[in-house]
Amino acid sequence: MDIKDRSVLVTGSSSGIGRAIALRFAGEGAKIVVNYHVNKTGGQETLRKIEERGQEALLVQADIGKPEEIDRLFTTVLNKFGALDILINNAAIALERVPFMEATYEDILEMVKTNLIGPMLCSQRAVRIMEKQGHGKILNTSSIRGAEYGGGWAIVYAATKAGINSFTKTLAKQVAPKIQVNGIAPGFVKTRSYDNMPKERIDFYINQTYLKRWNTEDEIADAFVFLAKNDGITGQVIYVDGGFTLK
């Protein structure tokens, strides 16, 4: 797929990996829908950076953990651009806020709704649009913690990302051949989720990679662009992890 002039919705694009993805696609000439939940300032900053590049963009607040807000998000996208060519399910709650054995039902439900149910509902809406168009790409942000080895202490987060991996593969079968569904599983990327993590733990993680460094947000964004452009790949989850999952 030629990305130029395509409409691209990136959920959770007010900062971090989501912002990098939005900017990278804008650099390819795409029209971008920037989505945020609570970080309005970050969303406005992403929008500003895109518009500075001369690209058309739209900023929409929506919590993808809530079906009614997902409906509003997609209605707004269609009213603005009249189409949706690429959906990038990126919004997620990063890691657990409390240890698993201390997590309440509400803690677990919030993460599952945002990280797994939300992408499923967004994909439902996208598929209905893309089937009428006769084409489309759905790209999901997974994680190394969703791999078979498990997620260490991040139990609920790992379970949601394992679910994203399975969802990616099974949805790809259902919507082929007109729509391709793939995922990117980032490794250790220096985002806000690591700001308060002890240096010893960070060093432990990085030393388990073969490249012995953080992956960059731009490296993750480049992988999304690759999948968006390639029409011969579906049902795959690509790990951009510095070789971490080779162990």
Provide the strand spans (E) within the chain.
7-10, 31-36, 57-61, 86-89, 136-141, 179-186, 237-240
pLDDT for 109 beyond 80? yes
Q: Decide yes or no: CATH 3.40.50.720 for domain 7-246.
A: yes
State pLDDT tens for residues 65-98. 999 999 999 999 999 999 999 999 999 998 778 8
Q: 30 vs 152, which has greater pLDDT?
A: 30
Two structure tokens written together for 200: 């010893």
Confidence band of 132 (pLDDT split at 50, 70, 90): very high
Two structure tokens written together for 206: 């990085």
Q: Evaluate whether 15 touches 42 at the Cβ level (below 8 Å).
A: yes
Domain boundaries, the chain: 7-246
**184: helix, coil or strand?**
strand
pLDDT for 26 beyond 70? yes
- Which has the closest alpha carbon to 23: 37, 36, 39, 8? 8
Q: Evaluate whether 81 touches 57 at the Cβ level (below 8 Å).
A: no
Contacts of 32 (CB under 8 A, 6+ apart): 8, 10, 13, 22, 25, 26, 50, 55, 56, 57, 58
Give CA–CA dist 78/73, Å, rounded.
9
Q: Which residues are catalytic?
A: 157
pLDDT for 175 beyond 90? yes
Tally of CB atoms within 10 A around 221: 24
Give CA–CA dist 175/31, Å, rounded.
24
Confidence band of 192 (pLDDT split at 50, 70, 90): confident
The structure's pTM equals: 0.96
